[in-house]
Structure formats: structure tokens, C-alpha cells
Amino acid sequence: MWFLGAGSSAAAGIPTASDMVWEFKQQLYVSQRRVAPAMVADLTNPAVRSAIQGFIDAQERYPQPNAPDEYATLFEAAYPSEADRRTYIAGKVTGAKPSYGHIVLAVLMKAGHTRLVWSTNFDALVADACAKVYDGTGYLTTVALDAPALGREVLTEGRWPAEIKLHGDFRSRQLKNTNDELRQQDASLRESLEQACGRAGLVVSGYSGRDDSIMDALEAAMAQPTPFPGGLFWLHHGENPPLPRVVRLLEKASAKGVDGGLVAIENFDEALRDLVRLTPSVDMKALDEFGKARPVWSSVPKPAGRADFPVIRLNAIELERTPTVCRRLTCKIGGYAEVSAAIKTAGVPIIATRARGGVLGFGTDADMRAAFGAYGIEDFDLHAIEVRRLRYDSHERGLLREAISAALARTHGLSIQRRRSADLLAPANPADVRWKPLKELVGTLQGVVPGHPEMTWSEGFGARLDWANDRLWLLIEPRTVLLGVTEASRAAATDFSRERTVKRYNRVLNDLVSFWSGLLSNAGEELRALDANAGVDAVFRLGSDTAFSRRAR
């Protein structure tokens, strides 16, 4: 059996629970503060998120971020009416198409390797995938909250393949997504889940374990004589550990001799791709057809002359060289905040982060020991930075982002502001001759925000790392970098930044990207974060130009 949560539908374009939580917070902020939606429209902006979260925290009646009941509580607060919640969900799932992982799951169903899928999702992606693979809609039995008795019949009579939706279908009258509703999960389907877990193994994907009713059922299944006889495998994405209740469930399973455990994956689609390659007796025809229907991306030469246009210039510069190792030490220190405090106290030029396996960092060995020696260093070694861990927002990729920003600042005379999603860099000395071409493009490079003498601005750019086309890229975003922004002046800062950049159309923006990419590439020479000779330094080399895209001929 499989158990699918919202994460399994993310590749199909359906927002995850985390995405929707931010939309709920945004809705509450707009309605209760009575502000224009445009002021907080960009939820990717850290400043916008900070303002919204600050408002939510000030209410003192909503759960803390990532609390188990955060999604349900905020959903009910933002949309008190069941009809409104149903309309909201319908708007999110309507028109979505199955991703590669859903097609694979349907192929496994057809081959008899998977008989039953449980789901907390409201979408019809599993049913749509089965319709493609089976070439018809009459093969899958779908059970929703409207007909719990059908769930018992499916299990008793073996009507395979089947999908049972524990939170309802978006077309159902009942949608289980508020706290009271979740606590009153249909007893019949819950009992069916418990019984089924005593007869088959279970793979969980895209599900966080936040719903007490679901976790109660999985824990109750452990009391059966032979729980999960085929194993219990919990697919987990990202660096953060699973919720404590998930950890306890897997510990109980291990104690009872159940095979399985926590399985680290990149995402639902890639996990299913790897699985189907190892599975015999499957019909790959549907997967081949799915692949043919998808766009194929390939590298092309740099455009030369008018015949190669139009193109879309991207703001991505390839990292042609990145560090392959860093220093790793284990000691009795807390999280990232304590690591940063230790570096600041020691006053040494090192770059470090906290990972599950210890402290990872760059710098001289003497400086590393000076910063963390007081915490009782137990192991002092090298740590290989594996390419696979740069594909997502891992500790290693975060460390490299901090290091590349430091290397750019050190080489080109830039100041840095660290932000959660991107670092902000700007000329430390705008009078330096190297900034003359930039001044010709945008005019003044630094100043004070009118009416707010406490708030200064500089012309600069945002920098972050991303993985695409099987390589790592530095993404640069020309922007206004502000200092001294407070909650009271945040709106003025946003308006000022927008006013400075609103007329930067294609030509100006292209020239800005050309300036920054040409400068930052350092003529193909190495960029060193620390110039540490007696330790492990972070050494980079950037490509000479940004990537671009054009329609294939």
C-alpha cells in the first residue's frame, strides 16, 4: 500500500500545505489589517513574510510556525465557512495533471505491485494517472468520505486497485481540513486503515504526520499481531528531521521487528523513477509515452547574430568550480545560532554551519579550534561535499552560498547582508572607480530614503544558489539594498524600492545583468572566500556570462 500526502502532488503544480499556510496568513493579514493585497502579494519576499509572521505572532492565538495544528487552525480562521474552504481547495486542484510519479504509481498498480493507495489529498491525480495507464476510467475504485461503507467492501472483497481518500475529495460535500473535522475523522475509514496495516506493508510519501487522526490509526495498527508485514517505509525530503510523532512511530515499528524506516529522497517523482527501474514485470509503455509528451531541454550554443534571436536572458551564472570538501568537527554545541555566536565571540574569519553530523565550515584549522575548542572538540576531519546534496536546500548548499557571497565581497569590495533566502550585496565604497560603469547605468549608487533619515539605500544585488540542468548556478537579482528598515518604515521602503526600479525595462535590466555578471566572473580567475592557507578554503570559479534560453528550431 501507499499513503500519499500533499508533497506528492507538488510536482503537479498543487501547492503544499506549507504553501497554503502562507496564503492563509496573507489572507488574515490583509483582512484584519485592512491593507491593499498588493502590499503583501510577493510571498517569496523575505520582508513580506517577516511582516506577515510578525502580525500573526502578535495575535497570540495562532499556532507557532510548523506546529502540527498550524495548517488546520489557520485554514479555519481564514475561511470559516465549509463552502468557502471547498471553493478554495477546488481552485487549487482543478486543472492539475498527473506528474511522472503518479504515472509510475499507476503502472505499479497495473502490474499488481500496488493494490491500495490511501491519501489525504483532495486532487484526482491518482485517478487521472490510472485512466492514462489503463486507457479507461473504470478500473480504479475511489472511496471518499461520502461512502465509507464502500471502503470496507473494497478491503473485504479485494476490489483492486483502489484509492481511499481520508480527507475527502474536493468534489465531496465533506472536506476534512479543520481541527474539529480532523479530530472527527470518519471512524469507519480509520478502522479500515488500521486493519489494512495488519495485512500489508505501507510506503508513506509527501506526508508530514501532522494529523492526529491519521497518526492515531497508524500507531493503533502496531497493536496487531503482525503489523505492516511488508514493511513501513517513510519517504522523507529535506534536511529537517521528521516530526517527533513520526520518529516515535518508526521506533515502535523497529522495536516490533517491522522492516523499513526513514528513507531520504529528493522528491516524489525521482523516488518513483528509481523504484520503477528496479521493479520487474512492469509495462513501461505509459512511461515512455509520458516522457515523449514532456518538453525536452538541451544545451545550445551562445546566440550569435540576429538569426539566433529571440532569446530570454537568465540571471543565472554557472558555478564552474565549487569546493569539494570542507572541515567537519563534532563538539557539544547547539544549533546554527550558537555556532554563529561562537564565531563572533572568537573574532575569527571562518564560515560555518551546523549540520546533523557536526559543524561544517571553511577556515584555518587554528581559527576553527579557537572558535569551537571551548565546546569540547571530539572529532576533527574533512567532509566531502557530495554533488547530490547540492540539488536541494541542504546544509552544504547553504554553506556554499555563504562562502560564495564572502568570496565575491572580498574580491570586489562589496558589503553583505545575510538573509534567509538570499544574501544582499552592495558596493562598500561607491566612490571606487570600479563602480563608474554602474553609476552610468543607474545614476546615484547610495543615499537616504526621503522622509526616513534612519534608512539608507545602495544599488546592489541579491545572490542565491540554485540547481538546474544538472549543475549549480549563482542567481543574481539587481535591486535596491536597504539598511535600517523597521516595521514602521517597511511600507515606505517597499515603495521606494519599487519607484527606483519600476522603469528598468529590458534594455536597462539586460545592461545591469551584463555589468554584474562581467564583474563577478572575475575574468575566469579563482574566487577565494577567506584566503586561508593553513586549512580548508572555499574556492570558486564562475562562468563568463549568464545562461539564456530560446525556443528550439
The tens-digit pLDDT sequence of the chain (553 residues) is 999 998 898 878 888 888 889 999 999 999 998 888 888 888 877 778 888 999 999 998 999 887 877 888 899 899 888 888 888 888 888 878 898 999 999 999 999 999 999 998 888 999 999 998 998 888 999 888 767 677 788 888 888 999 998 876 655 555 566 666 555 556 778 888 999 999 999 999 999 888 888 899 999 999 999 999 999 999 998 767 888 999 999 999 999 999 999 998 888 998 998 898 888 778 777 777 776 666 666 666 666 766 666 678 899 999 999 999 999 999 999 988 899 999 999 999 999 999 888 999 999 999 999 999 999 999 999 999 988 888 878 899 999 999 999 999 999 999 999 987 789 999 999 999 999 999 999 999 999 999 999 999 999 999 999 988 778 999 999 999 999 988 888 888 888 988 888 888 888 999 999 999 999 999 999 999 998 778 899 999 999 889 888 766 5
All three cell numbers of 288: 515512455
Q: With helix as H, strand as E and coil as C, how does 232-259 read? A: EEEEEECCCCCCHHHHHHHHHHHHCCCC
Beta-strand relationship, 539-549 and 527-528: antiparallel
Give the whole-angstrom CA distance, residue 387 versus residue 410: 25
> Nearest 5 degrees, angle CA 476-CA 413-CA 484?
75
> Nearest 5 degrees, angle CA 196-CA 201-CA 202?
85
Give the whole-angstrom CA distance, residue 88 versus residue 85: 5
**Predicted local distance difference test score (pLDDT) of residue 158:** 85
List phi, psi (to 5°) of 253. -60, -45
- Indicate yes or no: pTM above 0.75: no
Q: Are 59 and 65 a contacting pair, CB within 8 Å?
A: no
Other C-beta atoms within 10 Å of 440: how many? 10
> Nearest 5 degrees, angle CA 306-CA 307-CA 309?
70
**Predicted local distance difference test score (pLDDT) of residue 387:** 86
Give the whole-angstrom CA distance, residue 329 versus residue 378: 7
Q: Taking the CA of residue 394 as centre, how many other CA atoms within 13 Å lie in the half-sphere pointing to its CB?
A: 20
All three cell numbers of 366: 587554528
Give the whole-angstrom CA distance, residue 206 versus residue 120: 10
Closest Cα partner for 107 from 352, 276, 350, 224?
276
**Predicted local distance difference test score (pLDDT) of residue 38:** 82
Using CB atoms within 10 Å of the CB of residue 34, give its burial: 0 to 12 exposed, 13 to 18 middle, 19+ buried.
exposed
Distance of CA 184 to the CA centre of its chain: 31
**Predicted local distance difference test score (pLDDT) of residue 520:** 95
Give the whole-angstrom CA distance, residue 179 versus residue 67: 13
* Three-state secondary-structure class, residue 422: coil
Give the whole-angstrom CA distance, residue 304 versus residue 75: 52
Identify any residues that bridge with 502 across adjacent strands, giving them in sequence order: none
* Three-state secondary-structure class, residue 264: strand
List phi, psi (to 5°) of 74. -70, -35
